[in-house]
Amino acid sequence: MTKRRSFLKAAAIAYPLSQVGSIPALAKENYQAPTIFKRDYFKEIGVTAFINAAAGYSAYGGARMLPEVAEAIRYGTYNKAKVSDLHDAVGKRIANMVGVEAAMVPSGATAAMVLGTAACMTRGDREKIEQLPTTTDMPNEVIIQKNHRYTYDRALIVAGAKLIEVANEEELVNSISPKTAMMFWLLANHNPAGDNISMDRYLKIAKENKIPTFLDGATMTPPASNVIDACKLGFDMVGFSGGKGLRGPYSAGLLLGKKEFIEYARANNSPNSRALGRGMKVASEEYLGMLVALEAGLEVDEEADFNEKREVFARMISEIGDISSLKTEFILDEGMVSELYLDLSWDQSVINLSIEEFVEELKSGTPSIRIRMLKFAGGRAQLSTTVLSEGQEITVGRRIRDVLKRNS
């Protein structure tokens, strides 16, 4: 961990209730009051809206975009440009910001993987682009380490590739052949299994054999500066999710890297009518929104951002008040990704409520509140501030107090 990150440790220390009042007020630029809309659409169609104190999960509608991202999206809806001009210009700007040769905005991190694989299999050959996902007469094998297998490696076979799993360096070297299209690497915050082959060796072997490499860093933000760090690792292509840690549009992501491969990837994507990825459309406003999200993300002062989150939590804790046996603790996701959570735990002989019952009561109450439940260590109840609107922390705090008190 660099010096830059040293404040994180301090931020994660459990915060005593007695000091809640002493936290300094900070600018609330990331944390806005909700807008009043003419129509309440969710109510009209019978959807239960909820306060998201869990985090920006896809299934819960993603992260909350920054106001400037929403503004850029609105601009994009009113001002039309030729899609290819816009893709070129935004790609160039993002590439300059990150320090890579080229960049594009796919419809998410999964799309980045689909397009990266398609790029390596087709390499600009029009006939091959037309044939996908039939890959019989082109390199169509993607090498993946055994310990890097995960839910989303599904995306690697969407374009018609086969996965070749390797467990050690010898297997890796033996598996390389003229059919090898790409070598894949999963960048993860916590991979208890570790890597089968070190990154240095993996990249060296790829270079020696002239095999393009892809790094999936989908979940490796915040901070946004991780995009820059990941691109320095030496992979030919790097993919990121846009709608979670980067707080960009929900159906957008980033694909960054060597110019050659980004061009091959674009040839397989919308708006090309006869491309495999034509169905993975990205609106012009999402292109602009992704650019502005990254700009804003790179400008975020991480320390101020953390202090702001702590302040929000402090107000929540203050509403919860003193409840016998309740422990509140700040949890920091350590590693490359850093996000602050508030962990709640209590003695279940004093408060007669399991973690599961607690989560369910918050969910089924009014207003409905979602928090995240981790399955390990008999279950943990955790909260995040990232998707909260101004004032919601007070509501959440009061509801938690009610639920816990009622069962004490």
Partner 1 sequence: MTARRLFLTQILFGASTVGAPKFKRDYHRELGVKPFINAIGSYSSLGGEEMWPEVIEAMDYATQNKADMEDLHDAVGNRIAELVGSEYACVTAGATSAIILSVAGCMSGLNKEILETLPHPPVGTKNEVILQRSHQYLYDRALRVPGAKLVMVDTEENLLNAINEKTAMMFYVRKMEGEIPLEHWIKIGKEQNIPTLCDAATTVPPIQNLLDTVKLGFDLCCFSGGKGLRGPYSAGLLLGRKDLIIAAKANGSPNHKSVGRAMKVAPEEYLGMMVAVEQSLLHDEAADMKDYYRITNDMAAEISKLDGVTADVLTSEQQGMEPYVNVDWDQEKYKISKDGLKLALRNGEPCIELRAMFLSFGELHLTGHMLKPGEEKIVARRVIEILLESKVLL
Please count the other Cβ atoms lying within 10 Å of the Cβ belonging to residue 256. 28
Stretch of residues binding partner 1 (CB under 8 A), selected from 4-12, 78-86, 306-314, 338-346: 78-86
Using CA atoms, how far residue 343 sits from 228, 244, 307, 382, in Å, is: 30, 21, 17, 4
Is there binding between residue 386 and partner 1 (CB under 8 A)? no
Least CB distance to partner 1 at residue 1 (A): 31
- Alpha-carbon dihedral of residues 304, 306, 307, 313, nearest 10 degrees? 150
Q: Phi and psi of 38, rounded to 5°? A: -60, -45
Nearest residue to 320 via CA among 64, 53, 63, 56 = 53
Give the pair of three-digit tokens for residue 159: 């374009």
Cβ neighbours of residue 72 under 8 Å, at least 6 residues apart? Answer: 285, 288, 289, 291, 292
Please give the residues from 265 up to 324 whose contact with partner 1 meets the rule CB under 8 A: 270-271, 273-286, 288, 291-292
Q: Which of 1, 9, 10, 48 binds partner 1 (CB under 8 A)?
A: 48
Is there binding between residue 52 and partner 1 (CB under 8 A)? yes
Please give the residues from 58 up to 77 whose contact with partner 1 meets the rule CB under 8 A: 58-62, 64-65, 70-77
Q: Which of 160, 217, 245, 397 binds partner 1 (CB under 8 A)?
A: 160
Q: Which of 4, 9, 154, 259 binds partner 1 (CB under 8 A)?
A: 154
Please give the residues from 122 up to 151 whose contact with partner 1 meets the rule CB under 8 A: 130, 132-134, 151
* CB half-sphere exposure, 338, CA atoms < 13 A: 21
Residue 18 or 35 with smaller CB distance to partner 1: 35
Least CB distance to partner 1 at residue 83 (A): 5
Please give the residues from 189 up to 218 whose contact with partner 1 meets the rule CB under 8 A: none
**Cβ pair 38, 394 in contact under 8 A:** no
Least CB distance to partner 1 at residue 48 (A): 6
**Cβ pair 310, 23 in contact under 8 A:** yes
Angstrom distance (rounded) from CA 214 to CA 131: 22
Nearest residue to 308 via CA among 15, 3, 23 = 23
Q: Which of 42, 198, 259, 406 binds partner 1 (CB under 8 A)?
A: 42
> Is beta strand 340-345 parallel, antiparallel or unpaired with respect to 327-332?
antiparallel
Q: Which of 55, 100, 104, 158 binds partner 1 (CB under 8 A)?
A: 158
Is there binding between residue 46 and partner 1 (CB under 8 A)? yes
Is there binding between residue 55 and partner 1 (CB under 8 A)? no
Using CA atoms, how far residue 222 sits from 66, 108, 300, 305, in Å, is: 14, 16, 10, 11
Please give the residues from 351 up to 370 whose contact with partner 1 meets the rule CB under 8 A: none
Stretch of residues binding partner 1 (CB under 8 A), selected from 107-115, 226-234, 336-344, 394-402: 107-115
Is there binding between residue 97 and partner 1 (CB under 8 A)? no
Laid out side by side, the sheet with 380-383 consists of: 327-332, 340-345, 380-383, 372-374
Stretch of residues binding partner 1 (CB under 8 A), selected from 245-253, 322-330, 348-356, 377-385: 245-253
Residue 111 or 144 with smaller CB distance to partner 1: 111
Residue 197 or 399 with smaller CB distance to partner 1: 399
